[in-house]
Amino acid sequence: MLLDKKISTALSYECKLTDKALIQEYIMNRKDAILSKHITNVDQIHEPGYGGFKYYTTKLTPKNRNHSGLIYAKTKEELETKIIAHYLHIQEEGRITVRKVLVDALGGNEDSFGKTSKRAIQRFDKNLSDLGSIILSRLTETDIRAALDKLVATKPTEKEFNETVSCLNKIADHCQYEHIDIINIRDVISVYRKVRLTGKHLWKSVSKQTKNLAFTRTEASRIVRFAIKYPTYKSLSVAILITTGLRAGELLGLEIDDIYLEEGYLWIHQTEDTKTYELLDYVKENKTREVYLSDEALTIIKACLSFRINDNNNSPYLILNPCSNDGKMHLRAIDDFMREVIHTKVLGYDKEREARSAHDCRRTYASLEHLSGTPINVIMDQLGHRNVGQTWDYIKNIVEASERRRQLKGGRLIFDEVKPQKLKKTHKQGINAG
């Protein structure tokens, strides 16, 4: 994508208006504001540069640095475009390597990396070194597949494989945020997993039943109350998932027009692909449905709408994220929030205990409804499952230890006198006795 086109795309997302004329006016004003502030710092050096270019210096690229640190261009218009791109944090993909993008995604300075970032870059250098020196704009699907095949040949552990693939996901996220136009890395990884690894498991599968994949009633109550007290799009998203049982993609694709407060239900007819971020006009199992709201769910939805109205945004979607390039919330942000805020700050757990995911909120909803006495068929319809068996798989034992102890009745083996049962004399026995 050309640099000026990327600038226009970034500013149109930043503008968040719908009228095309107003968007163009905003873009022009924004460019003028950046240039009026920084163009006065530009000096021209008349010595010829590489390829006949003329060098230009700004405060960002002082004269005492080498040529690679200078902004250079053939014309003043090109220079202005590069200055605007710099201040909007938009990169030219023609010069950066795959490894450099990963470094930028992790913070930009390897010397100041924390433990997690250092581990990520070490995984990349060890397992995906063939991709490191490739210019990002020349990266192909064949390159990624070849690197992953080479990794699989070393028979890595499941953790090592997933951590290595997460490096590619970080690169994809950073490119999307910086408006760098490359191949769809997530799509390549998704297809690779299905085709290359299906039926050829490198690792033993872990049974889901060995983990408690739902919040207890006390934990869920803390999370929902936290969202009401400290409303943000992320906290309210988790509260909505717990009180409605929606899939994460269904919530991310939910529009304000699909909310019927007076009738008390949500119309679920589309979903967001949580890997590609593409909006799909259907839901899983093709179960378009009405999800009815309990009093608690209605309270959370109203709180989210109030927060949404104060945001004064023209987007049709309920859940937004101003930090993303398209202005929408995505699954990765919710999962990060659950791990970094819900797990540690709200529930007070340490890092040794595994944090739950957004889909575990759906299991929590099913378990709490079952615990409250809701019929299983009603829960099935709410979740959009195909049969009752699927719904039973979502219901977990979430009763706290104190509640479980209170519910125990015992066998009355010690404290109650057990009287021997007398056999009743039947009519037939009486006749025989006579």
In the prediction, which pLDDT does 397 show?
77
DSSP of 353-386, one letter per residue?
A: SPPP-HHHHHHHHHHHHHHTT--HHHHHHHHT-S
In the prediction, which pLDDT does 289 show?
92
Report how far residue 8's alpha carbon sits from residue 28's, in angstroms, rounded to the nearest whole number.
Answer: 9
In the prediction, which pLDDT does 425 show?
55
Within 8 A by CB and 6+ apart from 122, the residues are: none
In the prediction, which pLDDT does 366 show?
93
In the prediction, which pLDDT does 176 show?
72
Is residue 363 within 8 A of residue 214, CB to CB? The reply is: yes
Q: What CATH code would you report for 217-394?
A: 1.10.443.10
Beta bridge partners of 97: 135
In the prediction, which pLDDT does 286 show?
76
- SS3 assignment, position 17: coil
Report how far residue 140's alpha carbon sits from residue 188's, in angstroms, rounded to the nearest whole number.
Answer: 10
Residue 245 exposed, middle or buried by CB count within 10 Å (0-12, 13-18, 19+): buried
Q: First vs last Cα of the chain: how many Å apart?
A: 106
Residue 414 exposed, middle or buried by CB count within 10 Å (0-12, 13-18, 19+): exposed
DSSP of 155-179, one letter per residue?
A: ---HHHHHHHHHHHHHHHHHHHHTT
Query: Where are the domains positioned within the chain?
Result: 3-22+38-87, 98-197, 217-394
In the prediction, which pLDDT does 301 show?
95
Within 8 A by CB and 6+ apart from 42, the residues are: 56, 57, 58, 79, 83
Is residue 334 within 8 A of residue 257, CB to CB? The reply is: no
In the prediction, which pLDDT does 149 show?
87
Half-sphere exposure of 418 (CA within 13 A, CB side): 5
Structure tokens at 328: 């929408």
Structure tokens at 21: 């004329």
Task: Report helix angle 295-311 to 233-244, nearest 10.
Answer: 160
Q: Tokens 């997690």 sit at which residue?
A: 116
In the prediction, which pLDDT does 111 show?
79
Within 8 A by CB and 6+ apart from 50, the residues are: 67, 72
Report how far residue 320's alpha carbon sits from residue 166's, in angstroms, rounded to the nearest whole number.
Answer: 24
Q: Which of 363, 399, 398, 360 is nearest to 383 (CA)?
A: 363
Within 8 A by CB and 6+ apart from 174, the residues are: 101, 102, 104, 105, 180
Report how far residue 110's alpha carbon sits from residue 120's, in angstroms, rounded to the nearest whole number.
Answer: 11
Torsion angles phi and psi, residue 292, rounded to 5: -80, 150
Strand spans (E) along 214-308:
259-260, 265-268, 271-272, 279-280, 289-292
Pairing mode of beta strands 271-272, 279-280: antiparallel
Report how far residue 361's alpha carbon sits from residue 357's, in angstroms, rounded to the nearest whole number.
Answer: 7
- Alpha-carbon distances of 203 from 100, 127, 128, 158, 159, rounded to whole Å: 31, 18, 20, 6, 10
Report how far residue 364's alpha carbon sits from residue 370's, in angstroms, rounded to the nearest whole number.
Answer: 10
Give the chain's residues under pLDDT 70: 1-2, 16, 38-75, 89-95, 177-179, 181, 194-212, 399-401, 412, 415-434
Is residue 35 within 8 A of residue 80, CB to CB? The reply is: yes
